[in-house]
Amino acid sequence: MQMDPQELLSLCKRRGFLWPAYDIYGAVSGLYDYGPLGAALKNNIENQWRRLYVLQEGFYEISCPVVAPEPVFKASGHVDAFCDVYVECTSCGETYRADHLAAGMHPNPASLGEHELGKLLKANGVKCVECKGELTEPKRFNLMFKTSIGAGKGKTAYLRPETAQGMFVNFAQVYRYGRERLPFGAVQVGRAFRNEISPRQGLIRLREFSMMEAELFVHPEDKTWPGFRKVKDRAMPLVPSKGDPRTIRLDEAVKAKVIGNEVLAYYMWLTYKFALDIGLDPARLRFRQHEKTEMAHYASDCWDLEAETGYGWIELVGVADRGCYDVQAHIDHSGADLTAFERFDEPKEVEQDVVKPDFGELGPLFKGKAKKVAEALSRLSPESAKGKDKVMVEVDGEKVSVPAKCFEVSRRKEKVSGRKIVPHVIEPSYGVDRMMFALLDHAYSKKDDYVTLRLKPLVAPIKVGVFPLMPKDGLDEIAQGIYNDLTGAGFDSYLDDSGSIGRRYARMDEVGTPWCVTVDYDTKNDGTVTVRDRDTAEQTRIKKEKVPKAIEALVKGAGLSSLNTLR
């Protein structure tokens, strides 16, 4: 069912999922607060994701600052390239993303540069949506929030627009922690910031949002994947950049080079499976491949997991092959050794490039430090020095720029036990807020004004509603006891003793609570309570002491009828 996103957002506000932040001061578009139910739903999604990536797949979770000094984002390319194109109304000053205004005028306006967008908008006579005023020529706008670290002039810094860079700059530490073996992966779950040009679509385009990002570091010449064998015959709906959209088996997709390699295909599958596990509707999911011109500056291949929602098809996750772009960029800019070491089975006589320091030039330039600079140069990977007019190295914790005349990259025959390699990165990057919005959209169902959120128990913010039929005659105490047992067993529960039972069911259905337990006068006679299923409205009676056990079985997927043994 295609639903009105405003209807969903108003339910979210009314029932305590989320609302515009700083509302009492007029709110700021692109910033949202999560209320108790939203925070719980978000935590459940994030914890389920950790279970998959950290526990099942063995990624290492790290946590880095959200603010970083400029050189980090200069190296990553974000300072120069992380831009959108906007136009401004010359009358009312409203701003718009130029590619959004060009929707429907080109198959993929996001792939166009500012010049082409300007021509397209002009040719179609596009004016300000608010006041029909004239629009300026399109201009590029960097989406990072700029700040400074420290008093006075301070150091230029940015709020991170992705968590990924934290994993790249920490490659050496995490590689060492993992006993220096490739492949390995690191993850972060945390906030990211983008100064979006004109966010008008609820949770879809936020200026502060949450990401769950995984960076898998692999051997640059080996993108086969052991886990691929287990999933190769699964199929996913793909929209490739060339050829027709189709549902295709993973092994066929890799063989036909629709998906570039096994690792990318495996992590696309894992992403798809995660989406299904938390309850997204398979009929409204697809993977769309980026056009070459649409791809982020760091990616060599990228597929977006998209969900169809009230806003149309929206991107929830990007799964990209980032190649060696980021690690190499940080090697080049920082001079740090961010390489992995590939040990050969036996030492080999090889002809290879080496970085050879020139003491004749280093001495006069670096004086007492020349020896240490030479040692740092010898540690550089030849790729990071070849053809460069200068390189950065670290000496006694200080960054030193070394001009090309101080070293040469030359071929040498040597007996070596291994070689340094710059790893490639496969990155599944999830937006938590969009995932959450799509989940709510797909779970929303309405019949004769009766709203039910059919959230899966795995993610539902409240698992059980507990109701005493009357808030008296000891029924309230029994209900409180059941509530305590449930929360003690780890099930988020909600005790509700006001209004008719029908109203209470409706309140729980509207926020996606899968089960309700009612204590009535029979409970006092035979010790049983009613358990009611949200989706079937089916009810069964079981012993009140057995409620936590029953909910545990239901969460694991048992049907209500299986509770007969607990009567």
Residues of this chain that bind ligand GAP (CB under 6 A): 162, 164, 194, 196, 205-206, 209, 211, 213, 315-318, 427, 429, 431, 433-434
27 φ/ψ sector (left φ>0, alpha ψ -120 to 50, else beta): left
Nearest to ligand GAP of 162, 321 (CB atom): 162
**In the bound complex, what is the minimum distance in angstroms from residue 155's beta carbon to ligand GAP?**
24
The two tokens of residue 503 are: 């109203």
**In the bound complex, what is the minimum distance in angstroms from residue 434's beta carbon to ligand GAP?**
4
Nearest to ligand GAP of 50, 356 (CB atom): 50
Nearest to ligand GAP of 310, 548 (CB atom): 310
**In the bound complex, what is the minimum distance in angstroms from residue 518's beta carbon to ligand GAP?**
40
Query: Do the beta carbons of residue 127 and residue 133 sit within 8 Å?
Result: yes
d(CA 245, CA 507) in angstroms, rounded, equals: 41
**In the bound complex, what is the minimum distance in angstroms from residue 129's beta carbon to ligand GAP?**
20
**In the bound complex, what is the minimum distance in angstroms from residue 17's beta carbon to ligand GAP?**
16
Nearest to ligand GAP of 97, 434 (CB atom): 434
**In the bound complex, what is the minimum distance in angstroms from residue 121's beta carbon to ligand GAP?**
22
**What is the torsional sign of CA 202, 438, 228, 188?**
positive
Q: In what order do the strands lie in the sheet with 95-97?
A: 95-97, 83-88, 139-142
Nearest to ligand GAP of 32, 467 (CB atom): 32
Query: Do the beta carbons of residue 5 and residue 309 sit within 8 Å?
Result: yes
**In the bound complex, what is the minimum distance in angstroms from residue 486's beta carbon to ligand GAP?**
33
Nearest to ligand GAP of 308, 383 (CB atom): 308
Q: Within 10 Å of residue 243's Cβ, how many Cβ atoms?
A: 12
Using alpha carbons only, give the angle 293, 299, 303 rounded to the nearest 5 degrees. Answer: 80
d(CA 439, CA 426) in angstroms, rounded, equals: 25
**In the bound complex, what is the minimum distance in angstroms from residue 256's beta carbon to ligand GAP?**
25
Nearest to ligand GAP of 75, 206 (CB atom): 206
Query: Residue with CB nearest ligand GAP?
Result: 431
**In the bound complex, what is the minimum distance in angstroms from residue 316's beta carbon to ligand GAP?**
5
Side chain identity, residue 186:
A
**In the bound complex, what is the minimum distance in angstroms from residue 162's beta carbon to ligand GAP?**
4
Query: Do the beta carbons of residue 239 and residue 191 sit within 8 Å?
Result: no
Q: Within 10 Å of residue 259's Cβ, how many Cβ atoms?
A: 27
User: Element (H or E) spanning 341, and its range?
Assistant: strand 340-357
Helices (H), 351-474: 359-366, 370-379, 382-385, 432-443
Q: In what order do the strands lie in the sheet with 539-543?
A: 493-495, 464-468, 515-519, 528-533, 539-543
Nearest to ligand GAP of 273, 372 (CB atom): 273
**In the bound complex, what is the minimum distance in angstroms from residue 218's beta carbon to ligand GAP?**
17
**Which residues 6+ apart lie within 8 Å of 39 measured at CB?**
none
The two tokens of residue 115 are: 């010049």
Side chain identity, residue 561:
S
**In the bound complex, what is the minimum distance in angstroms from residue 210's beta carbon to ligand GAP?**
8
Nearest to ligand GAP of 205, 541 (CB atom): 205
Nearest to ligand GAP of 205, 463 (CB atom): 205
d(CA 418, CA 423) in angstroms, rounded, equals: 15
**Which residues 6+ apart lie within 8 Å of 433 measured at CB?**
32, 42, 203, 206, 209, 210
Query: Do the beta carbons of residue 477 and residue 519 sit within 8 Å?
Result: no
Nearest to ligand GAP of 211, 455 (CB atom): 211
Sort strands 424-431 and 444-447 into parallel, antiparallel or unpaired: unpaired
d(CA 17, CA 441) in angstroms, rounded, equals: 13
Nearest to ligand GAP of 112, 425 (CB atom): 425
